[in-house]
């Protein structure tokens, strides 16, 4: 079950490549080879010294510039596909290599076809990982498979008859979504050059033998209300390194613009099983005379969180790619989490008095207050057809200001107003 969310994520997005209107086959096959170099930042104190980060990517996708669907026309220069890559973090013995399969979406930026933005979310397999005996200084990754995220900006240098040559600059991240510790993750800045080969498909015709023309779309704006429930997984600390659930319910209200972009405000309520068990079992920091002994009076309350958030989502047929930024109104047990994980390493289950614990500094305040969420949804009904009722499932990575909190699968319902 622990790896199911990675499998679903890749399957959902790979199926987008097969999601074609049976009467429309227009598009351009794009094969892009990227050679990238950069630097991986230290993930923890005493992290192994690293040299140049080297990455080779092969992206295979489809560009929809001439496709008639509304999402293809609204997102200028839209391309979707899957990238396969190999990364050398500059320290083969201790960090090994990452083999990545990562679905992506790419579109024009700054109103120009010379600039492109690529965002991608998938999974990576690591040949080396943290081991307390044989690899104790690499605390970045402790599982074979992790989430993988890429965000890049490209600039087209020149075009030849067959190849577009581009410069790229971007950010790469790997982590296991807090499903096992240690998990500081890899964060890298990369730049390089890529060559994109474009191969147009043959134009097909519709069932009546006439060429399909691109329709003209009017601007539209529809209100929506959305409800979602989620089941997540995370661990608390190295001394509590077994996976336990995180349950979420949320509601959201907002607008769908031109059938391709959602923007909404919402609130979510979460229950963390790890927090509840720590308090209810009267572990070290909640025992009599310790810092959080008062939490025992209301263990369920202190194991929950309540937040408001802003969500943005790109809609492409049955798929949605969304990101949320939120503020935690309360999340009291995160204090225990921070104390244990940000102090001395290898904090034991029974914490002795005088053990150095994490301090409540500015970094703590920001991570306790700000939550983020990134992932992909699959809608049962095509969003371009403006269904009044729709359901979806999704796979997301939830974070405390960029630091992984938990991995989640979700199921939801959306009602859209005034779709006629």
Going residue by residue through the chain, which has 420 residues, state the pLDDT in tens, using 9 for 90 and above: 445 444 445 544 444 444 444 334 456 889 999 999 999 999 888 899 999 999 999 999 988 877 777 777 778 888 889 999 999 999 999 999 999 999 999 988 888 889 999 999 899 999 999 888 889 889 888 899 998 999 999 999 988 878 899 999 999 999 888 888 878 889 999 999 999 998 765 554 443 444 456 667 788 899 999 999 999 999 999 899 899 999 999 999 999 998 899 999 999 999 999 999 999 999 999 999 999 999 999 999 999 999 999 999 999 889 999 999 999 999 999 999 999 998 888 899 999 999 999 999 999 999 999 999 999 999 999 998 889 999 999 999 999 987 889 999 999 999 999 765
Compute the distance between CA of residue 150 and CA of residue 189 in angstroms, rounded to an integer.
10
CATH code of the region 221-416: 2.40.160
> Rounded to whole angstroms, how far apart are CA atoms 412 and 337?
29
In our burial notation (b when 16+ CB lie closer than 10 A, e otherwise), range 260-291 reads bbbebebebebebbbbbebbeeebbbbeeeee
Do 4-17+26-200 and 221-416 show the same overall fold? yes
Domain spans in the chain, listed from the N-terminal domain onward: 4-17+26-200, 221-416
Tokens 């809609």 correspond to what residue?
315
Distances in whole angstroms, Cα of residue 103 to Cα of each of 6, 143, 150, 314, 359: 12, 21, 10, 15, 39
Query: Architecture of 4-17+26-200 per CATH?
Result: Beta Barrel (2.40)
Q: Which helix (H) or strand (E) holds 207?
A: none
Angle (CA) 109-110-115 rounded to 5° is 50
Closest to 56 (Cα-Cα) out of 248, 192, 257, 177: 192
């Amino acid at each position: 079950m622990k790896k199911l969310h990675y499998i679903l994520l890749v399957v959902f997005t790979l199926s987008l490549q097969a999601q074609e209107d049976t009467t429309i086959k227009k598009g351009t096959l794009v094969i892009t080879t990227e050679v990238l170099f950069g630097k991986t930042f230290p993930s923890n104190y005493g992290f192994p010294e690293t040299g140049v980060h080297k990455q080779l990517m092969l992206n295979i996708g489809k560009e929809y510039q001439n496709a008639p669907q509304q999402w293809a026309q609204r997102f200028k220069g839209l391309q979707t596909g899957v990238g396969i890559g190999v990364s050398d973090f500059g320290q083969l013995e201790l960090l090994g290599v990452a083999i990545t399969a990562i679905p992506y979406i790419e579109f024009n930026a700054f109103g120009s076809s010379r600039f492109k933005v690529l965002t991608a979310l998938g999974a990576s397999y690591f040949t080396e990982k943290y081991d307390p005996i044989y690899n104790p200084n690499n605390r970045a990754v402790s599982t074979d498979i992790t989430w993988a995220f890429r965000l890049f900006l490209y600039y087209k240098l020149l075009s030849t008859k067959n190849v577009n040559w581009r410069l790229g600059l971007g950010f790469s991240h790997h982590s296991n979504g807090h499903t096992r510790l240690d998990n500081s993750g890899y964060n890298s800045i990369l730049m390089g050059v890529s060559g994109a080969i474009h191969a147009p498909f043959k134009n097909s015709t519709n069932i009546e033998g006439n060429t399909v023309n691109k329709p003209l779309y009017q601007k539209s704006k529809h209100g929506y209300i959305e409800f979602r429930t989620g089941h997540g997984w995370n661990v608390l600390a190295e001394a509590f390194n077994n996976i336990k659930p995180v349950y979420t319910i949320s509601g959201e209200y907002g607008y769908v613009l031109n059938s391709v972009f959602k923007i909404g405000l919402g609130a979510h309520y979460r229950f963390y099983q790890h927090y509840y068990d720590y308090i209810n079992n009267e572990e070290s920091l909640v025992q009599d005379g310790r810092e959080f002994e008062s939490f025992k009076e209301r263990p369920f309350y202190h194991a929950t969180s309540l937040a408001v958030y802003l969500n943005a989502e790109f809609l492409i047929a049955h798929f949605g790619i969304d990101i949320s930024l939120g503020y935690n109104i309360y999340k009291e047990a995160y204090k225990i989490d921070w104390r244990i994980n940000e102090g001395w390493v290898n904090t034991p289950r029974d914490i002795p008095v005088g053990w150095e614990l994490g301090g409540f500094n500015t970094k703590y305040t920001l991570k306790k207050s700000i939550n983020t969420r990134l992932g992909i949804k699959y809608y049962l009904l095509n969003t371009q057809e403006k269904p009044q009722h729709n359901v979806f499932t999704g796979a997301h990575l939830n974070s405390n200001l960029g630091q992984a909190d938990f991995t989640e699968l979700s199921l939801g319902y959306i009602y859209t107003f005034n779709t006629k």
